[in-house]
Structure formats: structure tokens, C-alpha cells
Structure 1
Amino acid sequence: MYQFTVIVPVYNEEDNLQRVKDEFLAYFKIAIKKTKVLFVNDGSTDKSLTSIKSICIDNDAFSYISFDKNRGLSAAIKAGFDYVETPLLGYIDSDLQTTPKDFNLLLEHIEKYDLVTGVRANRKDSFVKNMSSKIANGIRRAFTHDGMDDTGCPLKVIKTEFAQRIPMFKGLHRFLPAMILLQNGNVLQVPVQHFPRIAGTAKFGLWNRLLGPLMDCFAYLWMKRKYINYNVAEKG
């Protein structure tokens, strides 16, 4: 029955999870695709897993998988890709600095595109965070030529068949549009709302927002040179 699964990576976000539940219950009522949620608990050490289990017991539109220990955001997203069974998947951060309601803006375009990503308009982050993000995006664009202004935006919709072919490594969540282009897919960016973080703490600092992605660019270039792509002309 479901057409669209939203992956929600969680690492020590117990103070935000009730809001996540409430926001999605509101979104389910207006969603243009029948939607479910898959929590990926990335080895949280607080009470996040307990909260996730409670949410999933109350409503069968919510499900979860949980890691044995913290593996990082790229691993959580990859696991979500692997466990999704619907033809479309999405991704949103559990800090809710973006809203599930804006998935409808992206879903309007997914028939013509293979990935539709948000671009955070009027970002509500600190000056240092905004500037480091802009610099990192500029460096990444120079390496990938993907034309994307804000690959760090935690609001995306992807056709599942494309997402499940991405050979993920640590840090590759910043290169999802580029990885779709490597598959000869097409991508689009759409402005979405952005909000201040209300609860919990940010998991990324200057190092993993700026210097880390620079090193990942070289890994991407290596992968691009080695990437295997083919089309089957016929079979029998």
C-alpha cells in the first residue's frame, strides 16, 4: 500500500523524537504519496531507541532498525536504502530543521527526475556554520560538477532503484546527486523551509563540515574513474 518511505537517522535525539512523530502524523494527512517512516538508530547511547520502539508500537506506519553501535550518518542512510521496499524513498534529519510537509514539494517532480533535493532557503544556522557549508559546497561542485547548491540539505526524495545502486562509503551522503548523475540519472533542486534546532546538539563541527568533505572529494574522483555503468540492450 505504501509508495514512499522516509528514512530518519537517529543518534542521541531523544528530545526530538516526539516532535518527529507529531510532525509525521500531521504530514500523513496531506501527503501526496502514501508514506511510512523508517527510523535508523545509529547506536544511540541515550533513550532514543526506547522512544523509537514506543512510537513504532503505537502506529504501524513507523518501523525501525537499530545498529549495534554508532556507525555514522552515511552508514545509517545506506542501511535505510537497503531496507526500503517502496518505489520511492526520502531522507530527513531527526533534528527537524526541515519539515516533512516540504516532501510534497519534492514529490511533485519525482516522476521526471531520479533525485529531487531541497535547498535550504533563509538558513537559520550560525554564521560560521553557514559559511563553512557554502565553502564546502563550492569545493564539492568544483570536483563533481553536479550543479547542486546545497547537497547537505537533509530533505531528499530518490527513486529507490537508483538509491540502492549507490556504493556508499563514509561521507558519501554529501554526494548523492553526483552518484545519481553517475548512473545517468537526472536531478533537481527545490527551495524548502529551514528552522533553528530546538533540541539536541549538532553532530557536525568545522572539521567534518569543511575539511572532511574536501578529502571525500578525492575519494569521489577515484570512484568516478572506476565506476561501472551499463545498459542491457536485450535479454532472453
Structure 2
Amino acid sequence: MSMTTQSEPPRLSVVVPVKNEAGNIEALVAEIGHACQTLAPFEVIYVDDGSTDATLATLRGLQAKHPWLRVVRHDRGGGQSGAVRSGVLRARAPVIATLDGDGQNDPSFIPVLYAALEQAGPTVGLAQGQRIGRKGAWKQFQSRIANGVRGKILKDATRDTGCGLKVFRREVYLTLPYFDALHRFMPALVTREGFGVVHRDVVDRPRFTGHSNYGMFDRLWVGILDLAGVWWLIRRRRPAPRAEEIPHSESR
């Protein structure tokens, strides 16, 4: 596998937020490394969001095997959006991929989303995964209602914004207003900034081990204030001019 070094800037940064996922880390890191071989050089940034189990120790042990693995640690839990933001701020690549740290998101779809973003061109800021084959009838029912209401209000043309599998341009992400649960409203906010969104179906899997430490914000009754806030942001948006720096004239 081609390795990413500090002297070789990566073309892709994979950001993985985790909290108390020690049992899921080793297998998922191996899957990510395998999936991203064709995208080398790459880096993987795990953000430990204040875990109290062996998450940090497991990650530090894996760093000896994988030079492309970086670890960021929060001193206390900041939420999934906060963990994603910490990873993106420290990323060195112009393109970012995100996925959940429990194994439910299959890393083999990262190259698919990366290709979709690159083929779409610079006017598109986000390639959003949309889950098929979701596990659990009750979870499917809740998500269908939440996504349906969100779609009618925000008109973001996205069936499943809660999917953690995303590939986006770092510079676009940095223009978005930051708030808790930002990651679940990215299609609408990327569109608000004047960039397009493309979609690809991805297969949902059961988590490897343990129970969910994130995920409740995809329920409508938990995220209703966030939904109202994003709707307000979209309504208040005004077209912004594109800025271009004019270089010095060449001396003659």
C-alpha cells in the first residue's frame, strides 16, 4: 500500500468520530486502509470524543502499524458534529470523507463517493451517501418520517441526510455555519452556499459490536429546533459574490 508521509500531502482525509468504540476500531481501520488504496496518498483521522473505554489505547497501538493513521482526542464529549469539525480542521487534504465509527458504514463506498464528487466538478461541494437495506423496522420508520418532514421544509432533495458516509470539499465545509448536528443538515447548507450535491446509494450494515453512542439526532422530535434554525439560515441567505485575488502584474 502506498503510504502517506508528512512530506507528501494527502489527496484524501478520512475523518472518523468515535466515542467508546474500542471493539470496533481495529477491523474498521483495516477496512478503511484497504478501501482507500486507490486514493493514496491518504490519511485517516480518528477523533476520540472523550471516550472512557480503551478507544484511545487501541488507536495509539494501531498507529505503530499504520503511518497514515492520526488521532485527535477531545478532553470531554463534544458530540458527533464537534468531532467531525475537529478532524476537518486538522485535515491536510482538500477532500474529506466521513463515516461513522461503529462499522455500519462500509468504507468500500468511499471511492464511489470520491469519484462522484470529482466527476461532478468544482461547482459540486458534497457527495452524500444514502443508505439502502437499513437494519431495524422501527429505526427505518423513524428515519422515514424525520427525513420526509425535513425534506419538505428544507427542500434539500436528499432522501437520507443522516448517513455518515459523505465526501466533500474541505473549503466548502469551512464556509458552513457550525452548530451541533451540522453533519445532519449538510446537503441543505452546502446548497445554501451555492454548491451542488450529488447522491449515491450505499449499503447499511449492522454495527460490529456494542451499542450506539451517537445517532439520536436523526429523530425529528430531537432535532426540531435545529431544523427550524437551518430553515431560518436558508431564508436569510443572500447571494454572495465570488472572490478572486488578482495577482501582481509581471514586470516587463
User: What's the TM-score once normalised by structure 1's chain length?
Assistant: 0.92
Distance 1:228 1:65 in 2: 36
Give yes or no for the alignment of 1:7 onto 2:24: no
Paired amino acid for 1:69: R
Q: CA deviation at 1:18?
A: 0.9
Mean Cα displacement is larger for which, 34-43 or 53-62? 53-62
Distance 1:90 1:121 in 2: 19
8 Å contact kept, 2:143–2:218: no
Give yes or no for the alignment of 1:136 onto 2:149: no
8 Å contact kept, 1:140–1:214: no
Q: Which runs of 5+ in 2 are unaligned?
A: 1-7, 247-252
Distance 1:98 1:81 in 2: 19
8 Å contact kept, 2:11–2:39: no
Aligned to 2:57: 50
The change in CA–CA distance for 1:22 and 1:232 in structure 2 (over 3 A counts) is closer
Aligned to 2:70: 63
Q: CA deviation at 1:109?
A: 1.4
Paired amino acid for 1:165: T
Deviations 1:171-205 (A, max 9, x none): 22110111110110000110111111220211257
Distance 1:79 1:13 in 2: 18
Aligned to 1:158, which of 165, 168, 174? 168
SS for the counterpart of 1:119 is strand
Q: CA deviation at 1:92?
A: 0.5
The change in CA–CA distance for 1:215 and 1:34 in structure 2 (over 3 A counts) is same
Q: CA deviation at 1:232?
A: 3.6
The Cα RMSD (Å) is 1.8
8 Å contact kept, 2:17–2:101: yes
The change in CA–CA distance for 1:60 and 1:206 in structure 2 (over 3 A counts) is closer
Q: CA deviation at 1:233?
A: 5.5
The aligned length equals 234
The change in CA–CA distance for 1:50 and 1:114 in structure 2 (over 3 A counts) is same
Distance 2:159 2:244 in 1: 38
Distance 2:242 2:29 in 1: 42
Alignment map for 1:114-133 (pairs within 5 Å): 114-123=125-134, 125-133=135-143
Identity of aligned residues (%): 29
Mean Cα displacement is larger for which, 72-81 or 20-29? 20-29
SS for the counterpart of 1:6 is strand
Distance 2:219 2:86 in 1: 22
Paired amino acid for 1:108: A
Distance 1:82 1:137 in 2: 28
Give yes or no for the alignment of 1:25 onto 2:33: yes
Deviations 1:12-51 (A, max 9, x none): 000001111221232233x345321000110001110111
Mean Cα displacement is larger for which, 14-23 or 208-217? 208-217
The change in CA–CA distance for 1:215 and 1:58 in structure 2 (over 3 A counts) is same
8 Å contact kept, 1:40–1:66: yes
Mean Cα displacement is larger for which, 204-213 or 57-66? 204-213
Deviations 1:139-162 (A, max 9, x none): 111121110001111100001110
8 Å contact kept, 1:136–1:214: no
Q: Which runs of 5+ in 1 are unaligned?
A: none
Deviations 1:67-94 (A, max 9, x none): 0101111111111221112110010011
The change in CA–CA distance for 1:234 and 1:10 in structure 2 (over 3 A counts) is closer
SS for the counterpart of 1:143 is helix
Aligned to 1:202, which of 201, 212, 216? 212
Mean Cα displacement is larger for which, 105-114 or 185-194? 105-114
Paired amino acid for 1:24: I
8 Å contact kept, 1:11–1:41: yes
Q: CA deviation at 1:62?
A: 0.5
